[in-house]
Amino acid sequence: MNDNKNSDRLKGLTLLSANERRYPQKPEDARLETFENLYPENDYIITFDCPEYTSLCPVTGQPDFGHIIIRYIADKRCIESKSLKLYLFSFRNTPTFHEESVNRILKDIVEACNPRKAEVVGLFRPRGGIAINVKATFGGKIDE
């Protein structure tokens, strides 16, 4: 690939090359960046495994800890991983129920890259003796 085409493809990625230290305080402040999928004719599954997710209980304000797994089949755009890391970090001080955060993440992924299919799974650590697992999908089940 020539350098011109490659730089055109990557010009929207502002966070990857930056030494970004300004963490967004809430999901609304975060930006999911994308890049061109060079193989849109193929159905392939992209998986992000994020075992250090945190948010706040909207009732008690106590921290909630979880493991977020994002899987999607890209169409024309792919999610850039550093922007995803910063986006997920933005939930750290956000009061939200587990069900809300998983569905919010799915909605924002779909808005950012318009995948063929996507799913977000949240595996949340027990609190009060109960663990909560949530799965939200877009476009149907992703088979492996």
Catalytic residues: 57, 64
Alpha carbon of residue 81 to chain centroid = 8
Helices (runs of H) and strands (runs of E) counted in the chain: 3, 6
Q: How many Cα atoms occupy the beta-carbon half-sphere of 102 within 13 Å?
A: 24
Distance between CA atoms of residues 54 and 98, nearest Å: 10
In this structure, what token pair is assigned to residue 42?
């193929």
Residue 39: CB partners within 8 Å, gap ≥ 6?
none
Residue 131: CB partners within 8 Å, gap ≥ 6?
123, 124, 125
